[in-house]
Each structure stands twice: as C-alpha cells, then as structure tokens.
Chain A
Amino acid sequence: MNTLTPATLYLATAIALILIGFAGLLVRRNILKMVLGFALVDTGIHLLIATLGSNPGKAAPILDSAELAADPGLVVDPVPQALVLTAIVIGLGVTALMLAYVVRLFALKKTLDVSEFGRLKW
C-alpha cells in the first residue's frame, strides 16, 4: 500500500459517496431519499473520473500561457474532464425528470413510500 496522497483521498471519497448513494437506494423507502441517493452516486462517479484523469505534477488542460503552449507535456488529459462535464449535465437532467415524477407520484397516492407503488398502472 502506498502512502496517502490527495488522489487516494479523492478516490476514497468518491467510492464512499457511491456506496452511500447505493445504500440509500437499497435501504430507504422514501422515493425522495432514493432520488438523493441516486444524486450521490452520480457525484461520486464524477469525482472518480475526474480524479483518475488528474496528475498532481501537471497543470490543468488550459494552454493560456506561452510556457504551457510551448510544451504540451505539462498538462493533464482533457478527455476525462470533458466526460465529467457531459455527465454533470446529463445527471442534472435525469434528476430533474425524476423529481418531476416524484411530484406526480405523490399527487397520485399522497405518500412517498415506494412500497405503495407496487402496481405499474397509474
């Protein structure tokens, strides 16, 4: 086991977030809390991808000084960051849609308990 670097800490946090989110999805019966669990998994995955693409010895992939533009070996991989940007936007859209469904489901049964929604038909 290597020493504790910031990257290890970020990875541990990311995995912890993913696990807490899944725990919420598995254990909670309240739909709103399940949506929160999903959002936590989402955030954990973003942190995981961003950390995997990071390198403490290199700069961000923004070549805004002559020094960085002259030697592109000084910056990190831009692809994971672009992927995370996409994932954040998609996660936002999905969460918004889920919350809209939660509002609609609550209007239907006046409860947020997921076990009340056994029947597929509204």
Chain B
Amino acid sequence: MKQIFSLVLLVIMGVMLWSLIPLGQPTEPGEVAEHYIRHGIEENRGANLVTSVIVNYRGFDTLGEVTVLFLSVAGAGFVLRRREGLAPLTARPSSEILQTGARMLFAPLIVFGAYIFVHGHLSPGGGFQGGAVVASAVMLLLLADRDHRLPHGFMSWLESAAGFGYVLTGLAGLMVAGSFLSNQGVLPLGTWNRLFSGGVIPVIYILVGLKVGTELSVLLETMMNSGRPADTTGGEH
C-alpha cells in the first residue's frame, strides 16, 4: 500500500516537473544578467563573469555561503565530538602504493588547488573548487597515515584569519566606495585578462580558497577519526 502511494506520488511529481520546464528552448539572459554580461568587464575587469557575479555582484551571498559551510563543519564537529558509543575503529595500515602515492601527490595537489583559486577570475574554478582540491590533498595524507594529526592551532588560525579578511575587504569597500564589498577604488582594477586584475576579486577568492580548504580538511579529519578512542586523537580540538 505504502509502495503504491510512493509510486503514485513520484509519477505525479515527474509529470509536474516535465510539464513545468520549457523544453528545448534556449533561454536568453534576463535584464540583470544582461547588465552583468555587458558591463562586467568595465566594472570588474574579471574575465570570468561567474566569478564576478559570485564575488562582487553577489558577494554578500557568498559571505553567507561561507558562513553556512562553517556552521555545518562546526555542527558536524560538535555532533562527533563525544566518543561514547561510537564503534571503535581499528584502522588497517595503508598499503605501500597509497603511502608512496600520497607522498608524491601531496605537494602537487596543494599547488594545483592554489593555482585554481588564484586564477578564479580568469579561468573556470575559484575559491570553492581550489579549496576542495586542497582538502583532497589532505584527505590523501590522512588515508595514507591514519595516525597523522593536522596542526589544529594553525588550521583554525588560518580559517579565522581568512573569514576575518573577507569581512575586512567588504568593510574597505564600504569606507572607500560607500557600499559593502564594493570593487570600485579599493584596489586598482588592472588590465583585463591579466593575473593582477579584477580589484578585490582575487583577494576575496584566495581568502575563500584558504577558508574552504582548511574547513573541509578539518571536517575530513573529524569524520575519519570519529570512531577512534579519545587518547590517540590528541583530545579536544
């Protein structure tokens, strides 16, 4: 009975979704998007319009997004902090291939992640993607050596500094140009399609990259060590 009900519900949902969507008609940019496309370069000098939208036009949203990510990581850490009742985990030592591979790939992955978030205003990618690549390097390290501990003091310091820097950059825009996170007059806009261009956009995306990278690394470590006895994990963090 319940299965039939679920099936009927899903069919209704499928029909609704299918009929709501204008199939096969390519959409034209709306009024706001038209402004972003026409004036994006003259206002921000960033070649990547998606980055311009995320970091400048909708920069306040992105500040909220970073806060949501921080809250979810803090929430996961809080939920997994108490270790009573968690199944004790006996980690098998990782294989030679994984250990050697992790040692070889760690530095290139960090550099690649940094490359992605430094070039966020020029090419596809940005702070979130670069941060995820950095976190994947840390995950490889943790998989290869289950007893490895991240430097928590340094990580939380870097994360807080990056978040604080984001807000300070926004306040600089408020003081110079009169609106929060404004890109006018805070830093020289530079030449289009060069690394040093886009005003505050690369600065903010680098801070976002650092913040996302450290947050996801701490999240991965929390989850991977959630089943371990407290004495081997260095206690509270």
CB within 8 Å of B: which residues of A? 2-3, 5, 7-8, 11, 15, 18-19, 22-23, 26-27, 48, 52-58, 60-64, 69, 72-73, 75-79, 81-82, 85-86, 88-90, 92-94, 96-97, 99-101, 103-104, 106-108
Known: A63-B47, A72-B37, A89-B128. A7 touches B76 (CB 8 A): no
Question: In chain B between 72 and 97, which residues have their CB closer than 8 angstroms to a CB of chain A?
Answer: 72-73, 75-76, 79-80, 84-87
A82 to B60, CA, bound (A): 13
Which of A8, A73, A75, A97 has the most CB atoms of chain B within a 10 A radius of its CB?
A: A97
With A23-B10, A85-B128, A96-B223 as contacts: A5 and B17 at CB distance below 8 Å = no
State whether B68 touches A93 (Cβ < 8 A).
yes
Q: How many A-B residue pairs have CB under 8 A?
A: 155
Distance between Cα atoms of A98 and B126 in the complex (Å): 26
**The residue from A19, A73, A106 contacting B14, defined by CB atoms under 8 A apart:** A19
Give the residue name and chain of the B residue nearest to A48 (CB).
B21
Complex CA–CA separation, A82 to B50 (angstroms):
6
In-complex Cβ contact of A100 among B24, B30, B84, B223 (8 A): B223
B234 CB-CB contact with A under 8 Å: no
In the complex, the answer to whether A82 meets B23 with C-beta atoms within 8 Å is no
Which one, B49, B71, B87, contacts A78 given CB within 8 A? B49
A77 lies within 8 A of B33 (CB): yes
Task: Tell me the complex Cα distance, A73–B36, Å.
Answer: 11
A81 and B50 contact, Cβ closer than 8 Å, known pairs A69-B41, A97-B72: yes
Residues of B within 8 A of A99 (CB): 76, 223
Q: Which of A2, A62, A76, A107 contacts B86 (CB 8 A)?
A: A107
Given contacts A64-B47, A75-B37, A78-B37, contact A19 B13 (CB under 8 A): yes
A55 x B26 contact (CB < 8 A): yes
Complexed CA–CA distance, A88 and B65 (Å): 10
Residues of A within 8 A of B21 (CB): 11, 15, 48, 52
Contact B79 A100 (CB under 8 A): yes
The 9 closest A-B pairs by CB, nearest first: A93-B72, A107-B85, A100-B76, A55-B26, A77-B29, A61-B49, A78-B49, A26-B6, A82-B53
Q: Tell me the smallest distance from the CB of B204 to a CB of chain A, in Å.
A: 14
Contacts of A85 in B (CB 8 A): 50, 54, 126, 128
CB distance from B202 to the nearest CB of A (A): 15
